[in-house]
Amino acid sequence: MANKKTRALTQDEYENIIETMRTGFSGCRKNERIATVLVLEANLGLRISDILQLHLSDIVKDGKRYRLDITEQKTGKKRTFTVPVEIYSYIQAYCLNRGIKPDELIFPIKERIVQKQLKIVCDYLGYEGISTHSFRKFFATEIYLNNDYNIVLVQQLLQHSTPTVTQRYIAISSKQVEDALNKHINLL
């Protein structure tokens, strides 16, 4: 997979990958742990290396919301952001169901294991150009499309240095560009 350009997932691909991870198939057992890792990457926009370092105790109650303070593995940058209650509850339920204590790693596995399992599932589904980073790109694309195409918002969420870096993450098809142009017609 390293030789191929990683791309963002579509919503259907995201759902199919997670469902297939959870149910398994002939020759591949189900894997709820890796499915959960990928769901969190797609919903928080964190890199896989940061997801794999999470402890439940890293998410702290801050008034009526939850906050996550981390130092990114790749960049060494400090990052503080709100974790929606639904996501915190999802993580908490995962930990409770598996007897994971708040100060223990939620996912005591290596990145390579996640990548290998994802490749098996993607090969089975016939998907190409997908890696764990595709889930972060999916997050970026969804935030962009669902927030009035606000590239600066996505840039801040991903902690990119420039909007140009962020643009490379966002999966905008030529059909979307064409639709946007057609919606913008303003002849006088």
Structure confidence by residue, pLDDT tens digits, 89-116: 999 999 999 999 999 999 999 999 999 9
Report pLDDT for 176: 63
* CATH number where 109 lies: 3.90.15.10
- Number of folded domains that form the chain: 1
Q: What is the pLDDT of residue 97?
A: 97
Rg for the chain (alpha carbons), in Å? 18
Contact indicator for 119, 128 with CB cutoff of 8 Å: no
Given this model, what pLDDT does residue 3 score? 33
Q: Is residue 56 part of a domain?
A: yes
Among 4-13, 102-111, 113-122, 178-187, the range scoring the smallest mean pLDDT is: 178-187
**pLDDT at residue 81 tops 60:** yes
Q: Is residue 65 part of a domain?
A: yes
Count CA atoms within 13 Å of residue 39 on its CB side: 20
Q: Is residue 43's pLDDT more than 50?
A: yes
Query: What local confidence, expressed as pLDDT, does residue 172 receive?
Result: 65
Which one is predicted more confidently, 55 or 182?
55
For 170, the 3-state DSSP assignment is coil
Residue 20: inside a domain:
yes
In a domain, 23, yes or no: yes
Residue 77: predicted pLDDT: 82
Furthest CA-CA distance within the chain: 66
Residue 80 has pLDDT above 60, yes or no: yes
In-domain check, residue 50: yes
Expressed as residue numbers, the domain containing 69 is 11-134
Mean pLDDT check: name the lowest of 9-18, 101-110, 163-172.
Answer: 163-172
Q: Answer whether residue 149 shows pLDDT above 60.
A: yes
Q: Is residue 68 part of a domain?
A: yes
Burial pattern 101-112, b for ≥16 Cβ within 10 A else e, equals eeeeebbeeebe
Q: What is the pLDDT of residue 2?
A: 38
Residue 79 falls inside a structural domain: yes
CA-to-CA distance for 11 and 70, rounded, in angstroms?
Answer: 28
Burial label, 35 (beta-carbon count in 10 A; 0-12, 13-18, 19+): buried
Question: For residue 177, is it within any domain?
Answer: no
